[in-house]
Chains A and B, each alone.
Chain A
Amino acid sequence: MKLQLIGLSHKTAPLEVRECLAPPPESVPGELHRITALPGVREAVMVSTCNRVEVLAATEDNAGEAELTGWLCSGRGQAPELIAEHLYRYQGADAVRHLFRVASSLDSMVVGEPQILGQIKDAYRTATDAGTTRTVLNRLLHKTFQVAKRVRSETNIGGAAVSISFAAVELAKKIFDSLEGLSALVVGAGEMAELAVEHLMAQGVSKVQVANRTLERAVDLARGWGGHAISLDELGAVLGEVDIVIASTGSPSAMITAKMAKAAVKARRGRPLFFIDIAVPRDVESAVGELDGCYLYDIDDLTSVVEANRAGRAVEAGQAERIVAEEVVKFMSWLAGLDAVPTISALAAKAEEIRTAELARTLRDLSELSPDQAAALDRLTQALVKKLVHDPIMFIKGASHNKSPDTLRQQLALVRRIFNLEENGGE
């Protein structure tokens, strides 16, 4: 069994490429089934956030890599080779480390931001619902959540809580000077958008309106902020009344066009309008950013603020990396042990088979034995077999924990030959 991780993130790919790879949430189960249908692929989880698209797969040895790449790159509305050049691929321990780092928010645009763990949990839930995870990924993902929790509690990486919202507030202050009494419009609901709104309100934004595809959710959110909900059809009209727009819908096409923004600026008599677009694919047409009086920042633009914050966290990150490294070793040894499981169970099964067959023959010959004596004979054979296979099993287990995968494979093969165990005997 082998782990493979393939994907791209804000570190390797521009927004334009990430946009075309990010699947709409409802199509993820279908994508997962398509992945597990690839030859050699046994289990799969797909993580898709606005900053990354990643597929984690448990595959048979040396299988699936080319297929996974092919699946990820083709039919995405961009040339496969263009996407392929932005991809990273990790295997085995590297894949585990990458996943641990991502979940612990060490690979995030804003190191230490808390949302990524929730996003990975969602991705895992989607995969279990679709039935594309089994032993390996179930264990790996649960371990991942533990690692992320450990990093969070043992280091101070999330302490400064600097995030997208922080950047948004800084920018808004450079546009409006004071946020006192301004009004904001939230288009689409998401954790990141909620956080941003709360930061803005803490700085004095006093009126919030929420537009969402499902009005119920919009009403819910609006109530929490003391604002009110509007329908998506009213967007154009409302744009003229608000100062800050936070867009984060899952819509595949732009919700706010340059035409709408232009009309809004006119209605506002030249007072500026600040768009924060944290959706991928983007919700606000990029032409909006060139209009007089409109300032548009998308998710990639917000990175710059974060850079300044990175230095202070280097120490915490170092500590977190140590935790990750430690946990990777633990998981890999478990995974290696998993490779030994079929051999161990085959060995035990073969011994038991021989024992029961021989015991049955003997009991047939010794028909005058009392039930007590027969039971004693049964116990005797059990003890014999158990003691005989105990050492070989301990040898395999020891090898699986201490030896490299290659050595382990060779030794397992040797054990199989000595005991004449069938290949692929049981799981």
Chain B
Amino acid sequence: MSTTLHWITLAAYLLGSLISLGFLVRQRQGLYRMGLALLWIGFGLHTLALAAAWVEGGVLPATSLRQSLDVFSWALMGAVLVVNLRLEVKILGALAGPICVLLLLAASVLPVVPSVKTAAFKSAWIIVHVISIMAGYGLLALTCLGGVLYLTQDKALRAKTMGPVFRRLPSLGRLDSLNQASLLAGFLLMTIGLISGAVYAQMALGSYWRWDPKEVWALITWLLYAAMLHTRLVQGWRGRRGAWFSVAAFAVLVITFLGAGLLMPGYHSFSSLTGLGGPRP
């Protein structure tokens, strides 16, 4: 069931992305609406696919790299679609759509690892931990995208040609609002994720903090985003500096997400998740 839904989702995302790219080139409003509708349908199917995988596997489907990429692409698409409801940034579909397609494709080719069915993954704390961290990642990825768009539009404005890029990209003001909104929400969710993780670690492993590589990187990432929020709100680092910051911070986030999960040994790494015990009685 979940596999079928996975492929239908991929098809909807692919079609939605292609139509959004068509909108990017031709600038027809009809294409924009059609692309957006398809991405929404894809997102609905994606949600269903993940729910089905959860039911089938019995645990939260985020125990392998394959599943994590799947959830990450869901989070990114969700962030884009929800933020787009308030701040219409029409170009995002053409940008985030293909990224989600690639993430899903990557997830599809990765080996299937049997779900870890330990009691740990059934705890409410860890469900909150994983979901809020992943949603936070999605939003912060959007901040990074917004930053890239900001830098591109800034450059287009300074080139003074009023060319195709200038016309297609949204205004700096709107991109700045996008960055601020996604940064605030992403940071909030990441904070909730870290706290719930720590609480769970206390319950399951007996200590809030164990200097696991992923924990350390997550802390670094969190501090970076905290600094970014501070400089933006207090010192007025909007503009180019803020945009560069969001790109750099996201690079660190990727290290935390993939690097610490794959390359560094620790109980957060995907290979050792099986060894994780349930909460102590």
Could you list which residues of chain A lie within 8 angstroms of chain B, going by C-beta atoms? 167, 170-171, 173-178, 266, 268-272, 289-290, 292-293, 295, 297, 301, 304-305, 308
Contacts and interface: CB of A to CB of B under 8 A. Distances in A.
Contacts of B172: 174-177, 272
26 contacts: A167-B162, A171-B157, A171-B162, A173-B171, A174-B153, A175-B171, A176-B172, A177-B170, A177-B171, A177-B173, A177-B174, A266-B236, A269-B236, A270-B232, A270-B235, A270-B238, A270-B242, A271-B236, A272-B239, A290-B158, A293-B239, A293-B240, A295-B158, A297-B160, A305-B162, A308-B162
Interface string B113-142: 000000000000000000000000000000
B236 A268 contact: yes
Contacts of B166: 174
Interface string B159-179: 011100010011111100100
Nearest to A176: B173
A284 B152 CA distance: 25
Contact of B160 (A266, A304, A308): A304
Interface of B: 153, 157-158, 160-162, 166, 169-174, 177, 232, 235-242
In this complex, which of B161, B171, B237, B241 has the most chain A Cβ atoms within 10 angstroms of its Cβ? B171
Contacts of A177: 170-174, 177
Nearest to A293: B239
Contact of A174 (B157, B161, B232): B157
A209 to B, nearest CB: 21
A270 B180 CA distance: 13
Contact of A270 (B158, B169, B171, B239): B239
Contacts of A173: 171
A292 B241 contact: yes
A271 B157 contact: no
Contacts of B160: 297, 301, 304
Given A171-B157, A289-B158, A295-B157, A176 B240 contact: no
Nearest to A295: B157
Nearest to B171: A177
Nearest to B241: A292
B157 A270 contact: no
In this complex, which of B157, B170, B235 has the most chain A Cβ atoms within 10 angstroms of its Cβ? B157
Given A270-B235, A289-B158, 13 more contacts: A171-B157, A174-B172, A176-B173, A268-B236, A269-B235, A270-B232, A272-B238, A292-B241, A293-B239, A295-B157, A301-B160, A304-B160, A304-B161
Nearest to A266: B236
Contacts of A304: 160-162
A266 B236 CA distance: 8
B162 A170 contact: yes
A292 B239 contact: yes
Nearest to B87: A177
Contacts of B153: 174
Given A170-B162, A270-B242, A305-B162, A175 B236 contact: no
Contacts of B171: 173-177
Nearest to B157: A295
Contacts of B235: 269-270
A203 to B, nearest CB: 13
**Shortest 8 CB-CB distances between A and B: which pairs?**
A269-B236, A270-B236, A177-B173, A270-B238, A177-B171, A301-B160, A177-B174, A176-B173
Nearest to A290: B158
Contact of B237 (A268, A270, A301): A270
A171 B238 CA distance: 19
Contacts of B232: 270
Contacts of A176: 171-173
Contact of A175 (B162, B173, B238, B242): B173
